[in-house]
Chain A
Amino acid sequence: MITIKDITPEQYSTYVGVLTVEDKDSLIGQWYMPDSYFNPIQDADDKWVISVEEIDQCVNPDFMWVKNIPLIPFVPKPAPPFP
């Protein structure tokens, strides 16, 4: 299992942290650092994920467990089209 300890900052944008549905529900509306809020999204496989930046910068004592969640390569959902 890969965690944030195993990657470099240059690799942050290529990985995301995987959440359970319960994890996702617990993070919605919560701050990870002052004036910054978690934003769980679904990847192309409908897995709930957060970014490595959120994991790395998290200082909220209630959510320090995100530092240990598994990372996977990020595959985004296709964005809605625009003309």
Chain B
Amino acid sequence: MIRIGPSIRPKYFPAATVDPDAQAFITAAGITDATQQSAINTLVTDLKGYGVWSKMKAIYPFVGGTATTHKYNLKDPADTNAAFRLVFNGGWVHSSTGALPNGVNSYALTFFAPTPNADKNSVHISYYSRTDASGGIEMGSEDLSNVSYCLLGIKSGANNSFVAIGDYVGNLTTNTDGKGFYTAQRISSSTVNRWKNGIKTSTYSQSSVNNNTQIVIGTWIRSTGTFGSFTTKQCAFASMGLHLSDSEASDFNTAVQAFQTTLGRNV
């Protein structure tokens, strides 16, 4: 008689599924920390689940703690200008909480210009600030030949936020705390709105105009190559792309806030 012992059945655990876009970024940026990898994967799946991913042209998660890991665009993590990879200039300080500009001479080229890379009547820019400081423009560009701006100033004055996307008309709104997640977006040929932490804080009228000057992060740049005022607000996320609906803007904030919370750097 053949005695057969208790069978040993191998147990199969499904491998954790990593979104291919998240994996491409993780590989390109060389992200080895498991928490950071998980945060990136969740961010990508959240943005896709909310239907926001397709509206993004460039997403900078600022994970990994170095200029090399911070430079990659989550949407297209190729190390090329055409992929909107950042090029850091001046005195940035990179850490696990983001990229800190010095307010003296630091900026990052994005190679993304609002008109050819988004749409004259549909564009957004966003910036997650971990610093409550006054002064500076966090990101933007000015096209002198088309007489147009694309600017996001979170707390450009003592207690106000400045936004302009289009002709030489801007909009000031009270903002007493420079920390948080800010989005400015042109939603039509005549209307711009801004958001802070998922709340729409203003809507105003401004005419849309082509802007062929690339946006920079850390200040704003004129088409002549001169710079505006530099910021000192630490950046833990930034993005550029087409505009979002109100519900999408709210969902976008939810995803970014969750991302920051997972990384322990939410403000």
Q: B168, A83: Cβ atoms under 8 Å? A: yes
Cβ of A52 and Cβ of B91 under 8 Å apart?
Answer: yes
What is the bound-complex CA distance between A16 and B162, given in angstroms? Answer: 28
Known: A33-B67, A53-B92. A83 touches B107 (CB 8 A): no
- Dominant secondary structure of chain A at its interface with chain B: mixed
CB distance from A25 to the nearest CB of B (A): 16
Contact with A along B6-47 (1 / 0, CB 8 A): 000000000000000000000000000000000000000000
Q: Is B65 an interface residue (CB 8 A)?
A: no
Which of chain A's residues has its CB closest to B135's CB? A79
Contact of B102 among A12, A37, A82 (CB under 8 A): A12
The residue on B at minimum CB distance from A32 is B91
Q: Which of A35, A38, A54 contacts B71 (CB 8 A)?
A: A35
Q: Report whether A39 and B106 are in contact in the complex, using a CB–CB cutoff of 8 Å.
A: yes
A57–B90 alpha-carbon span in the complex (Å): 11
Report the separation of the CA atoms of residues A82 and B170 in the bound assembly, to the nearest whole angstrom.
Answer: 8
Q: Is the CB of A39 within 8 A of B105?
A: yes
Which of B178-186, B222-230, B247-255 sits within the interface? B222-230
Number of A-B contacts (CB under 8 A): 86
Most buried by B among A13, A33, A52, A83: A83
Let me know if A16 and B87 touch, CB within 8 A. Answer: no
* Bound Cα distance from A29 to B164, whole angstroms: 31
> Per a CB cutoff under 8 Å, which of B71, B103, B162 touches A13?
B103
Q: Are B92 and A36 in contact (CB under 8 A)?
A: yes
Most buried by A among B87, B90, B151, B162: B90
How many chain B residues touch the partner (CB < 8 A)? 33
Instruction: Please tell me if B267 contacts chain A, counting CB pairs below 8 Å.
Output: no
Smallest beta-carbon distance A52→chain B, Å? 7
What 1/0 flags go to A27-51 for Cβ under 8 Å of B? 0000001111111110000000111
A35 and B106 form a contact (CB under 8 A): no
A selection of 29 A-B contacts at a CB cut-off of 8 Å is A12-B91, A13-B103, A34-B66, A35-B66, A35-B68, A36-B88, A36-B89, A37-B88, A37-B89, A38-B89, A39-B91, A39-B105, A50-B105, A51-B90, A52-B91, A52-B102, A53-B91, A53-B102, A53-B104, A54-B105, A74-B104, A76-B229, A79-B228, A82-B137, A82-B149, A82-B162, A82-B164, A82-B170, A83-B170
List 7 A-B pairs, minimum CB-CB distance, nearest first: A53-B91, A51-B91, A39-B90, A79-B229, A35-B67, A39-B89, A83-B170
